[in-house]
Amino acid sequence: MAKVLALLSLCFFVACNASKAPQDVENHEKVEEAALKMLGGDVIYQPNVTKTYMLCSTSKVEDNVSRVVFIIYDLNKNEVIYESKERIRKVSWQSENEVRADLISGIPVVDSSNNYYVYNVETKKRESAPDLNQE
């Protein structure tokens, strides 16, 4: 009896995971298609912890300066919710819902009083952080 229950549990587990696989594959294909179209090749994919958003980034060289360009993709809505416009040095998940983008030092930006910003994927708002090197 115990073997039958173990076998049924295993079958149920496999069936549940198999039913999720096509959606995951479909989502991955859509993310990859959007990232390649908007960013080009050599894309790095970083999901948030709950895998509801994907941070897609790549490095490019412009004016002899290497920079990171990135998009944030909503895996539930299958759409890009944010595209970077600034010259970014580094980008990463700061928390479950926040992406931190460090700006390249010495490159003029609209608001030069900040050296990084945080984008919240839930509120769809970007907040600048003060430059800690200034008095």
Q: Where are the alpha helices (DSSP H) in 40-62?
A: none
Q: Is residue 95 part of a domain?
A: yes
Q: Is residue 84 part of a domain?
A: yes
β-pairing, 79-83 with 98-103? Answer: unpaired
- pLDDT profile of the chain (135 residues), mean per 10: 43 36 65 94 94 95 88 96 92 96 73 78 87 48
pTM of whole model > 0.85?
no
Look up the domain containing 7 and give its range.
2-130
Q: Is residue 98 part of a domain?
A: yes
Q: Is residue 111 part of a domain?
A: yes
How many domains, in total, are found in the chain?
Answer: 1
Q: Is residue 135 part of a domain?
A: no
**pLDDT score of 24:** 64
**pLDDT score of 107:** 55
